[in-house]
């Protein structure tokens, strides 16, 4: 006896529908009333983020989202009041307003007028009109916030960070990319250095300070003293930090990822400080630090040998540095040495002989490598990602190498 899909229990239909993408979840709801009822089961929509254009009133929108258990929302364009969203979804968990350029302190202030205990994630990236005033509202009413994205909010100052440090004690992730008014004083607030005014965000695990140009080594001292649970620290393009600051970071035992990309004042000495400490780093990026050379690779082999990902793009390293590093790096899975123009086939042969667990390597712009070296690299047993470019070979040679890889 044949069993038609219409005979399936609603719970089975809901289980099937849960594997569909968001668009198809909506389509199956239009097939018939049975499928509609099954598709509205909350298990079908678990983890889904609704992406909305708020242009005109839609009385059925938020009741529909709530019926399906959707509690994560991204606003793609905001032409109505933000309070319309907050009132419509009182149990909202995640609100993404990234790129809503017309959002102002006034609009946010009208939306956040009482505590919203369910909200855990707030993304205000590139909301360029937002100032410290909004952070005061957030600190007052979003006490349970765990993730706050402020990348590109260039009007944020140290006062805003004081307000965050005062009110958001459960914060685990904070992105301050390109908040160029932020200085050592603000980082001190976050790290609890001004306890008389604010306790600090001492539970922070992920901190992005990319392109915060006013930061110096004093910020790293604050971080090492107060933010002891930090796992990921992004300091890329922070030109004011130096080798001396690495001494402060070198004993942060919880830290497993450090990004120093384009930090112009970091040299071999800074890597020495990191390697001599008690760090257990899994990922290190010093790409475009033009004072990093072969000696850094020797230090990495001595004290940071547990790295799984290492990025050295455009650093002044050579085959000699590769030779001094590869025999100790048994855990390394990803190696980025793009635009390291002194690397030759000899370096690739050393990598192929010793870094046998590599799954990815970037060789973009390594102009001194040839077909011979690449043939050795493609024989790595675990290799899945190979980035090539700007190397001098004929099209037929490129095709042959890529054929070996695939």
| Mean pLDDT by groups of 10 residues along the chain of 406 residues | 66 71 72 73 69 75 78 83 86 94 93 95 96 97 98 97 97 98 98 90 98 97 98 98 98 97 98 97 98 98 97 98 96 97 97 97 94 94 88 52 55
pLDDT of residue 42: 63
Q: Domain boundaries in the chain?
A: 1-46, 49-227, 242-405
pLDDT of residue 237: 98
pLDDT of residue 244: 98
Yes or no: say if 110 and 82 are a contact pair by the CB < 8 Å rule: yes
Pairing, β 334-336 against β 257-259: unpaired
Pairing, β 94-96 against β 121-123: parallel
The answer to whether 49-227 and 242-405 have equal CATH topology is yes
Residue positions counted in the chain: 406
Taking residue 113's Cβ as centre, other Cβ atoms within 10 Å add up to: 13
Q: Which CATH number fits domain 242-405: 3.40.50.300, 3.40.50.2300, 3.40.50.1820, 3.80.10.10?
A: 3.80.10.10
CATH 1.20.120 applies to domain 1-46: no
**Class of CATH domain 49-227:** alpha beta
């Amino acid at each position: 006896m044949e069993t038609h899909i219409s005979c399936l229990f609603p719970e089975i239909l809901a289980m099937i529908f849960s594997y569909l993408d968001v668009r198809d979840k909506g389509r199956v709801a239009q097939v018939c009333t049975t499928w509609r009822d099954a598709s509205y089961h909350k298990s079908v929509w678990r983890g889904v983020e609704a992406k909305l254009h708020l242009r005109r009133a839609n009385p059925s929108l938020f009741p529909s989202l709530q019926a399906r258990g959707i509690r994560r929302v991204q606003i793609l364009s905001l032409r109505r009041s933000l309070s319309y969203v907050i009132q419509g979804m009182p149990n909202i968990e995640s609100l993404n307003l990234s790129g809503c350029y017309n959002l102002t302190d006034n609009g946010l202030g009208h939306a956040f007028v009482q505590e919203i205990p369910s909200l855990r994630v707030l993304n205000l990236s590139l909301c360029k009109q937002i100032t410290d005033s909004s952070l005061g509202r957030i600190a007052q009413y979003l006490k349970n916030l765990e993730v706050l994205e402020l990348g590109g909010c260039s009007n944020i100052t140290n006062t805003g960070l004081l307000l965050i440090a005062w009110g958001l004690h459960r914060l685990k992730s904070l992105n301050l990319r390109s908040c160029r008014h932020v200085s050592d004083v603000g980082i001190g607030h976050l790290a609890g250095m001004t306890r008389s005014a604010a306790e600090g965000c001492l539970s922070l695990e992920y901190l992005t300070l990319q392109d915060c140009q006013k930061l110096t080594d004093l910020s790293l001292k604050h971080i090492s003293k107060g933010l002891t649970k930090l796992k990921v620290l992004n300091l890329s393009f922070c030109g004011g930090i130096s080798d001396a600051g690495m001494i402060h970071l070198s004993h942060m035992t919880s830290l497993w990822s450090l990004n120093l990309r384009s930090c112009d004042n970091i040299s071999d000495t800074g890597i020495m400080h990191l390697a001599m400490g008690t760090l257990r780093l899994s990922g290190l990026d010093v790409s475009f630090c033009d004072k990093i050379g072969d000696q850094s690779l020797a230090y990495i082999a001595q004290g940071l040998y547990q790295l799984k990902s290492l990025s050295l793009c455009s650093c002044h390293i050579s085959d000699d540095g590769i030779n001094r590093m590869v025999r100790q790096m048994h855990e390394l899975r990803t190696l980025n040495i793009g635009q390291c123009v002194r690397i030759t086939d000899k370096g690739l042969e050393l990598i192929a002989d010793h870094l046998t667990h590599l799954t990815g390597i970037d060789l973009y712009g390594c102009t001194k490598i040839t077909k011979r070296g690449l043939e050795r690299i493609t024989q790595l047993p675990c290799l899945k990602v190979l980035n090539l470019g700007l190397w001098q070979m004929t099209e037929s040679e490129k095709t042959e190498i890529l054929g070996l890889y695939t």
